[in-house]
Amino acid sequence: MASTKYGVPRGFRDFPPEVALLRRRIIDVIEGVFERYGFDPLETPVIEYWETLKGKYGEEVESKLLYRFQDPWSGEWLALRYDLTVPLARFVASQVPTLPFKRYHVGRVWRHERPQKGRYREFWQCDADIVGSPYPEADAEVVDVVCDVMKSIGYRSFVVRLNDRRLLRGVFEEEFNISRYGEGKVLEVFRVIDKLEKIGREGVEAELLRAGLGTREVEGIMDTVEVSGNPEKTLSELEDRFKGNESVYVAVDHLKRMIDTSIYRDCLTLDLSMVRGLDYYTGPIFEVYVKEPKIGALAGGGRYDDLIERYGGPKTPSTGASIGLERIIDAGLELGLFNLERKTCTEVFIVSMDEQYWSYARKVADEMRREGLKVQVDLMRRSYKKQLEYCEKKGIDAMVFIGEKEASTGTLTIYIRSEKKRCEQTPLSEAVKILRQAAH
């Protein structure tokens, strides 16, 4: 009989226990940092009405990257969420929470992209957003919380590329006649420049020409977007060069204050080529990179002051960031910041020397579980030797042996592998203390 191999769709993955355990550990660190800055959890559904997502991300995303489908029962058009920011805006518009509303959300999102290194179709984002503040302090705090996450996970060196949509708009005003092309052209230019890393300068130039811009305009745009470097110095230079341009003035002032407030200002660099593809950004934007491995941005974010209004809410300036869990983990594994050695969360295995001790083993396991230890007993009726082999394979560090001596005296024998420590005939309460210590 031919056997069918059942796999998962391209761009989707299973996470076996050692990977799932690592992911949980990293999520714990991230959520811990978010909470230390006063962000509270918010959860929204994975499915949204297509109407909710439509018109928020740009045409390319909406026509090619969103998973969209018709509910066979109601006939309604639905979509899997593409990010966590748009659902937040929908939520805030309808609930109008107390401001500032600082929420975090760690969850799956879906994008029908071409799978490659660091690029999946199902992946997790870890977002922190501040809703309600128009001020640079809020943008600085968002950058700081992301940098704090990076440090807390173990990244020693990373760069935050910073830019501002208003700064770019101001520059574009000087380089091409926006009113001639219409406002939509600005967003189109942003989206093309966003591909700079992917398709190179020539590719971007060709796309801008195809978008209808003149050769001189394209040259002007390309020369300015290649400006990068020390933020304070570069901002002052841009301010001089585009004196009298209101958008540039407003953006430079905001960015300077933001940089001044940031605890992690040493990690910041100004990079005019970093535009971020999504349509909803209105102010400062940033992305976080490591030199190696080449995996794209590990995190990104920015200010989106108009999004909540678009859902019928009051005008509510907002800013936030999104950390890509897969990239943080894939890059961290490559850099050796952590590993997949931990294969189980079981802290203790109770080894019965013989069938007659099973009920005592279960009683001990029950009491240890009540004390908060993570305990397994043998469920396969295996020999003592096979139980030990299982512990070895699973990487369970602590074993409790139950045999004749232990059962008759109501005590336990403990062996902790990593410490090569053996304690014989230990009373249960004492055993719990030893095992708890070993587990930490």
- Residue numbers at the binding site for ligand AMP (CB under 6 A): 83, 111, 113, 118-120, 123, 125, 297-300, 322, 324, 326-327
Min CB(276)–ligand AMP separation in Å: 6
Distance from C-alpha of 321 to C-alpha of 323, rounded to nearest angstrom: 7
Min CB(298)–ligand AMP separation in Å: 5
**Residue closest to ligand AMP when measured from CB atoms:** 324
Q: What does R_g of the chain's alpha carbons equal in angstroms?
A: 27
Q: Which of 237, 293, 296, 244 is nearest to 270 (CA)?
A: 237
Burial class (CB within 10 angstroms; exposed 0-12, middle 13-18, buried 19+) of 315: exposed
Residue (308 or 431) nearer to ligand AMP, CB: 308
Which residues lie across from 308 on neighbouring strands? Answer: none
Residue (155 or 360) nearer to ligand AMP, CB: 155
Burial class (CB within 10 angstroms; exposed 0-12, middle 13-18, buried 19+) of 243: exposed
Residue (281 or 360) nearer to ligand AMP, CB: 281
Min CB(280)–ligand AMP separation in Å: 10
Angle (deg, nearest 10), helices 165-175 and 215-225: 150
Min CB(291)–ligand AMP separation in Å: 16
Cβ within 8 Å of residue 437, ≥6 positions away: none
Distance from C-alpha of 91 to C-alpha of 41, rounded to nearest angstrom: 13
Min CB(163)–ligand AMP separation in Å: 13
Provide DSSP, 141-196: HHHHHHHHHHHHHT----EEEEEEHHHHHHHHHHHS-HHHH-THHHHHHHHHHTTH
Residue (106 or 308) nearer to ligand AMP, CB: 106
Min CB(54)–ligand AMP separation in Å: 17
Residue (277 or 395) nearer to ligand AMP, CB: 277
Distance from C-alpha of 289 to C-alpha of 365, rounded to nearest angstrom: 47
Residue (22 or 373) nearer to ligand AMP, CB: 22
